[in-house]
Amino acid sequence: MPQLIPGNLLTTAMAILPHDEVEPALELALSLDIPFWPQLPHVSYYEDMYVQAAEHFPGIILLPEQNSIRFDTNKFYDELPEMMDHWEDLTYFDISETYSVVYHRFLSLDVSQYPAIRGQLEGPVSFGMKILDENDRPLIFNEQVREVLMDFMARRAQAQLAHLKTRHPGAFMFIDEPGLQFIFSSVSGYTDTMGREDMDRFFAQIDRPRGIHLCGNPDWQFLLNRDLDILSMDIYTNAEIFRCYGKDIKRFLDRGAVLSWGVVPTGFEAFDRESQDHLIEILEGVWTTLGEAGISREQILAQSLLGPATCCLINPDREKTVAKAYAWVKSLSRRLREKYRLD
């Protein structure tokens, strides 16, 4: 399969930013090689990733004054026919201006000078684990609701990707799935077999390019063997674990997929004790291990992006450390691209 997403250590990032104003957040996102529309929960409750994903899903109850989102089963069955009536109308499943002013501001910009742009949507597994019904039971455990949820979220991702591609032919999607790190727990009740079937069903309904972003530590073999075009991860925290999956990483790259290495910490304490030289050591150490698994340095570089390690909403300096982390990402990219003579 051809490589559909640029590599060569270009920069991008996950979407959540701590800003309380739209324009500075957009400016920061647009400072990277592959920009995105930021999710800004400090601007509005509707800019929260779970709230944005919930738009038009039957049974959802939003309580903005309580910063709460719930689900009611009877309401789900009452509203399901309306959603199905709109199934062929892709624009119905896109994000409205009520649910993201930032998204529509991004869509109004001329982004043709960038090599690609990126969107994102909260994934169905994480959504299903987070949102509780009237009995405080996660939606992921309701089989009928879960099936609808998988198809609904696929429709939403497809709608956003199609819209972004009208602004740039190189648009692609991150599906944010922090919940995937929990499905392998013996106490989860939602098994990896269920997750495999659901993820494959979900991605089969979304055009390429598309992939998964998460900051946690899931079963990497599980993710590397899904039909993804990109996997975005926190390598700063998970380097020692991830480097153990050489054979799976090789198969992943040999399919033309791209790895986005989240290497710069955004928490102010971790950032303050780091150096760019050490972060390069982390990356090159993993790449050396992968070389021992038969993956050439040339292939790794050609199929890699760089980004921050995680989102961060809790720094006491709000967006200041995050902005510094973005500057470091760009500096690391320049240094490594010069070192390896990348175009």
pLDDT digits (tens, 9 = 90+) for 100-156: 999 999 999 999 999 999 999 999 999 999 999 999 999 999 989 999 999 999 999
Structure tokens at 44: 């509005």
Report the alpha-carbon distance of residue 262 to residue 306 in Å, rounded: 6
List, for residues 19-59, the tens digit of each pLDDT value.
Answer: 999 999 999 999 999 999 999 999 999 999 999 999 999 99
- Residue for token digits 């919940």? 179
Question: What SS3 state is found at 171?
Answer: coil
Among 176, 153, 172, 165, CA closest to 262: 176
In the chain, the percentage of residues whose pLDDT exceeds 90 is 87
Least confident of 88-97, 177-186, 282-291: 177-186
Query: Would you put residue 172 in left (φ > 0), alpha (ψ -120 to 50) or beta?
Result: beta
- Please, which pLDDT band fits residue 193 given cuts at 50, 70 and 90? confident
Instruction: Locate the DSSP E strands across the chain.
Output: 10-11, 60-63, 68-71, 118-122, 172-176, 210-213, 230-234, 258-264, 304-308
Neighbours of 338 (CB within 10 A): 9
Domains of the chain: 10-339 (3.20.20.210)
**Distant-in-sequence, close-in-space partners of 172: CB < 8 Å, separation ≥ 6:** 4, 5, 116, 118, 119, 161, 208, 209, 210, 211, 229, 230
Record the pTM.
0.95
Neighbours of 341 (CB within 10 A): 7
| pLDDT (0 to 100) of residue 15 | 93
Average pLDDT on 198-216 reads: 95
| pLDDT (0 to 100) of residue 188 | 58
